[in-house]
Amino acid sequence: MINECMKKFGKIDVLVNNAEIVIDKEFEDRTVEGWKNTLDINLIAPFLLTKIVGKEMMKQVLLIQLL
């Protein structure tokens, strides 16, 4: 996905992490597997995507210091 964006546009200006799931069960009916899945999608995936995309975005950063 990232490689396709870089080939098509040459850079990445914005990253929106908008994936989320919600377990729609009573607390006592939830499983560890379901909880791990929620964490993977809601926390781990955005972290990893930001880490990967961030490397590309940092190459584009222009820092201007005004005195």
pTM over 0.75: no
Q: pLDDT tens digits for 16-35?
A: 888 899 988 999 999 999 99
At 23 the pLDDT is 87
Q: Classify residue 11 by its DSSP letter.
A: S
pLDDT band at 65 (very low <50, low <70, confident <90, very high): low
In order of 29, 38, 44, 57, the CA distances from 32 in angstroms are: 10, 10, 16, 35
Is 50 within 8 Å of 28 (Cβ atoms)? no
- How is the chain split into domains, by residue range? 2-58
- Cβ burial, residue 62 (10 Å; 0-12/13-18/19+): exposed
